[in-house]
């Protein structure tokens, strides 16, 4: 059977590092601040925002919560982002997605000061990641990289297969793996022979949104499997969360695997806290290696 990659424990480790970094900053009269903007009544979004605020407070980051009504205009949201861009106590700005349909998500994300863009979705940061510059990287892929580095050490030369090509997970994941010197294959809904391609991978990152799609027949024996998927299904008359990987069969073949829940999920929030500290350093003109471990994407090489 595979080794279990414990995302809860890894997240606790990251949060402890962040807490230490926040204390070091506070000794210099700097307390990082995170603003979270929520528009509308989506119940899942409310839970996510509450968890982010709680986690921020636990590590000593100031949190500022802004709740706008579902029928707020695009201009109202843009005005709030502008105001937060100007506020010195706000080092990170997170606009919880999805936004109501009448608001242009991209326009709102582009309005965020790239140095406060703790989700890493501004085109300045997306482009910088692709160019191999040190930028704020999206939290979920950054969390997957941390798990991979913790469990595999050096990733250079490994063949990584990313299943899924979303802007939030798949594409930035591929960019980060490339920067860690992996050979990278990206599979998606139009891929032909996806299972056969995936069977060549040393590392598999699944970000598809299809319950248990990736079974043992997709995996090379000894592969390391990171399951980003979070899918709610009804089974045996009850509701439960499963990943994009068929855990029970994959665990027989893989060398190491993340569970769902308790794998990538807890890492995402921890990396958001890490990014908020990194953003604070960027705004202060301090080098990120000033503190324990930074979340900037690794330095480029040819
Ligand atoms: P998405 O719907 O934006 O993208 C899914 C991708 O999967 C697409 O690029 C599509 O091409 C690909 N795909 C669809 N069917 C496929 C198939 N049959 N074969 C190969 N590829 C296929 O989803 P997303 O936002 O990237 O999220 C993916 C999953 O990760 C979801 O379950 C989501 O809930 C979860 N997620 C988890 C976290 C976390 O914190 N752990 C964060 C973000 C997303």
Reported as a pLDDT band with limits 50, 70 and 90, residue 286 is: confident
* CA gap 200, 131 in Å, rounded: 27
Closest Cα to atom 42 of ligand 1: 140
Query: Which of these, 87, 17, 4, lies nearest to 255 by C-alpha position?
Result: 4
- The answer to whether 270 and 18 are in contact (CB under 8 A) is yes
Query: Which of these, 11, 56, 49, 50, lies nearest to 279 by C-alpha position?
Result: 56
So what's the pLDDT on residue 177?
Answer: 97
pLDDT one-digit tens code per residue, 90-139 = 999 999 999 999 999 999 999 999 999 999 999 999 999 999 998 999 99
HEC secondary structure over 48-109: HHHHHHHHHHHCCCEEEEEEECCCCCHHHHHHHHHHHHHCCCCCEEEECCCCCCCCCHHHHH
Query: Reduced to 3 states, what is the DSSP secondary structure of residue 156?
Result: coil
Distance 273 CA to ligand 1 centre (A): 23
pLDDT one-digit tens code per residue, 176-226 = 999 999 999 999 999 999 999 999 999 999 999 999 999 999 999 999 999
Q: Is the pLDDT of residue 64 over 90?
A: yes
Closest Cα to atom 19 of ligand 1: 189
Q: What domains can you pick out in the chain, each with its CATH number?
A: 139-265 (3.40.50.720)
Q: Is the pLDDT of residue 40 over 90?
A: yes
Q: Is 220 a catalytic residue?
A: no
Neighbour count for residue 99 (Cβ, 10 Å): 25
Question: Which one is catalytic: 52, 116, 158, 171?
Answer: 52
Q: Is 42 a catalytic residue?
A: no
- Segment 233-239 shows an average pLDDT of 95
Q: Is the pLDDT of residue 262 over 60?
A: yes
Closest Cα to atom 16 of ligand 1: 189
Distance 210 CA to ligand 1 centre (A): 7
Question: Which one is catalytic: 6, 96, 179, 227?
Answer: 96
Taking CB atoms and a 6 Å cutoff, what residues make up the pocket around ligand 1? Answer: 140, 163-166, 168-170, 187-189, 191, 194, 207-210, 228-231, 264-265, 268
Q: Under 8 Å CB-to-CB from 212, ≥6 apart: which residues?
A: 242, 243, 244, 245, 246, 247
Neighbour count for residue 74 (Cβ, 10 Å): 17
- Strands across the sheet containing 224-227: 3-4, 256-257, 224-227, 203-206, 159-163, 183-187
Instruction: Report pTM.
Output: 0.95
Closest Cα to atom 1 of ligand 1: 166
* Cα torsion 2, 241, 47, 72: sign: positive
Distance 231 CA to ligand 1 centre (A): 10
Rg for the chain, CA atoms, rounded:
19
* Residue from 44, 121, 169 whose mutation best tests the ligand 1 pocket (most atoms within 8 A of CB): 169
Q: Is 52 a catalytic residue?
A: yes
Q: Which atom of ligand 1 is nearest to the CA of 231?
A: 32
In whole angstroms, how far apart are CA 110 and each of 104, 124, 282, 289?
10, 9, 19, 27
Q: Is the pLDDT of residue 167 over 70?
A: yes
């Amino acid at each position: 059977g595979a080794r279990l990659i414990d995302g809860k424990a890894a997240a606790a480790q990251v949060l402890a590092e962040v807490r230490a970094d926040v204390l070091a900053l506070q000794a210099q009269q700097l307390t990082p601040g995170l603003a979270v903007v929520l528009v509308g009544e989506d119940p899942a979004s409310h839970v996510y925002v509450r968890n982010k605020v709680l986690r921020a407070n636990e590590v000593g980051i100031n949190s500022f919560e802004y709740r706008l009504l579902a029928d707020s205009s695009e201009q109202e949201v843009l005005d709030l982002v502008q105001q937060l861009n100007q506020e010195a106590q706000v080092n990170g700005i997170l606009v919880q997605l999805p936004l109501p349909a009448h608001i242009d998500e991209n326009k709102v994300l582009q309005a965020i000061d790239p140095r406060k863009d703790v989700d890493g979705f501004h085109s300045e940061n997306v482009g910088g990641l692709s160019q191999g510059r040190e930028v704020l990287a999206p939290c979920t892929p950054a969390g997957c990289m941390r798990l991979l580095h913790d469990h595999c050490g050096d990733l250079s030369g490994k063949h990584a297969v990313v299943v899924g090509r979303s802007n939030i997970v798949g594409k930035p994941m591929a960019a980060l793996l490339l920067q860690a010197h992996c050979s990278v294959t990206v599979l998606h809904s139009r891929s032909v022979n996806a299972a056969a391609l995936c069977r060549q991978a040393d590392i598999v990152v699944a970000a598809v949104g299809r319950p248990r799609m990736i079974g043992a027949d997709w995996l090379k024996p000894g592969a390391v499997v990171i399951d980003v998927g979070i899918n709610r299904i009804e089974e045996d008359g009850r509701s439960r969360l499963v990943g994009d990987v068929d855990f029970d069969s994959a665990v027989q073949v893989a060398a190491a695997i993340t569970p769902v829940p308790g794998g990538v999920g807890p890492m995402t929030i921890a990396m958001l806290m890490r990014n908020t500290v990194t953003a604070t350093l960027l705004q202060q003109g301090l080098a990120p290696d000033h503190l324990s471990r930074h979340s900037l994407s690794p330095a480029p090489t040819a």
